[in-house]
């Protein structure tokens, strides 16, 4: 099976943006408009079950019923907070406060060198995704990605598969030649809902989620001197690992053979015997 494209989620996948980026910026926005609200690390972890910043604020208002000064209309307040939070977040990014996770730069550079196409599929706002790429990866990094699908580009956010379907459509590729990289169960559901084999790199907020549908689950993408740990999806679970373009190809092949008989048959092969044994050299 040919690997044609890698499709990356942004928040939590490229960088630990949630706890130290978005959460801090939300709290700055609350203070900026005179609210006494504060999202702790633990509370924010719960709110992360809601995808999208505006939706997250709305969920918090509904669940916690925090004090809202009477001069604020709720819809206006949500829109104002979201806009200011994005400004604080982008300012923090521009100051270099958010770093890429291990292996992200390595894999992206390797993919570019080998002609693997790159795309972004995120519920994050476009300006946030671009700011992270420019400051943490390279000033011209947004241009490395053929498609940057972000924010409200599709009506239904993750876990709906819409953003991934949009990316596939823009790339002009079928799902089974792409590999998605995600960090959450929501993101995994979105990617696999579009039929895309998915590698999950967990973080502290997502480690306990269910990733049964993932082709591979790792602690991060891995560096030569800082390998990841395989958590699930390979017979080599528990061993040191690094996701390279070569191993990504093998993950894709094993996943497609194991999960999608239709594609398998269409590919013209008559033997399934390699499906499980091909897992061995995955990492």
# residues contacting Mg ion (CB under 5 A)? 5
Q: Which stretch binds Mg ion (CB under 5 A): 10-18, 92-100, 153-161, 258-266?
A: 10-18
Backbone angles phi, psi at 175, to 5 degrees: -60, -35
Q: Which stretch binds Mg ion (CB under 5 A): 4-12, 192-200, 217-225, 242-250?
A: 4-12
- Per the listing, tokens 């082709």 go with 215
* Near Mg ion by CB under 5 A: residue from 3, 6, 7, 9: 9
9 as an active site residue: the answer is: yes
Least distance to Mg ion from the beta carbon of 54, Å?
17
* Near Mg ion by CB under 5 A: residue from 5, 7, 12, 37: 12
Q: What is the DSSP letter of 19?
A: I
Contact call for residue 18 and Mg ion (CB under 5 A): no
Least distance to Mg ion from the beta carbon of 241, Å?
20
Signed CA dihedral, 190, 195, 196, 201: sign only: positive
Least distance to Mg ion from the beta carbon of 177, Å?
23
In the complex, residue closest to Mg ion by CB: 12
Helix crossing, 74-94 with 23-32: angle to 10°?
A: 130
Q: What is the DSSP letter of 114?
A: T
Closest CA to 177 of 161, 162, 194, 160: 194
183 as an active site residue: the answer is: no
In terms of CB distance, is 183 or 282 closer to Mg ion? 183
Residue 228, judged by CB atoms within 10 A of its CB (0-12, 13-18, 19+), counts as buried
In this structure, the number of other CB atoms found within 10 A of the CB of residue 42 comes to: 8
x/- contact string, 140-179, with Mg ion (CB under 5 A)?
A: ----------------------------------------
In terms of CB distance, is 1 or 228 closer to Mg ion? 228
Selecting among 11, 20, 246, 260, the annotated active-site residue is 11
x/- contact string, 178-207, with Mg ion (CB under 5 A)?
A: -----xx-----------------------
In terms of CB distance, is 1 or 47 closer to Mg ion? 47
**For the chain, what's the residue count?**
283
Least distance to Mg ion from the beta carbon of 59, Å?
17
Burial 253-274 (b: 16+ CB within 10 A, else e): bbbbbbbbeebbeeeeeeeeee
In this structure, the number of other CB atoms found within 10 A of the CB of residue 239 comes to: 12
Least distance to Mg ion from the beta carbon of 50, Å?
13
Q: Which two tokens stand for residue 150?
A: 């972000």
**Catalytic residue numbers, as ranges:** 9, 11
> Residues interacting with Mg ion, by CB under 5 A?
9, 11-12, 183-184
């Amino acid at each position: 099976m040919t690997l044609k494209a890698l499709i990356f989620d942004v928040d939590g996948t490229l960088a630990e943006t949630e706890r130290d980026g978005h959460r801090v910026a939300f709290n700055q926005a609350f203070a900026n408009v005179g609210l006494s609200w504060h999202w702790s690390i633990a509370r924010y972890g719960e709110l992360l079950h809601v995808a999208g910043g505006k939706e997250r604020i709305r969920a918090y208002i509904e669940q916690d019923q925090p004090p809202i000064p009477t001069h604020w209309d709720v819809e206006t307040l949500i829109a104002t907070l979201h806009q200011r939070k994005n400004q604080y977040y982008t300012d923090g990014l521009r100051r270099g406060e958010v770093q890429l996770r291990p292996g992200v730069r390595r894999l992206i550079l390797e993919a570019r060198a080998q002609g693997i196409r790159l795309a972004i599929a995120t519920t994050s706002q476009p300006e946030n995704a671009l700011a992270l790429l420019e400051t943490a990866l390279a000033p011209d990094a947004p241009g490395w990605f053929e498609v940057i699908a972000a924010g409200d580009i599709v009506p239904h956010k993750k876990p709906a598969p819409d953003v991934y379907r949009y990316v596939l459509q823009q790339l002009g590729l079928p799902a089974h030649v792409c590999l998605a990289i995600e960090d959450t169960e929501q993101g995994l559901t979105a990617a696999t809902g579009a039929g895309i084999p998915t590698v999950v790199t967990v973080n502290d907020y997502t480690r306990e989620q269910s990733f049964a549908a993932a082709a591979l689950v790792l602690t991060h993408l891995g560096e030569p001197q800082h390998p990841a740990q395989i958590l699930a999806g390979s017979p080599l679970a528990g061993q040191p690992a690094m996701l390279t373009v070569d191993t990504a190809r093998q993950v894709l092949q094993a996943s497609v053979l194991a999960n999608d008989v239709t594609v398998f048959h269409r590919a013209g092969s008559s033997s399934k015997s390699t499906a499980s044994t091909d897992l061995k050299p995955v990492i």
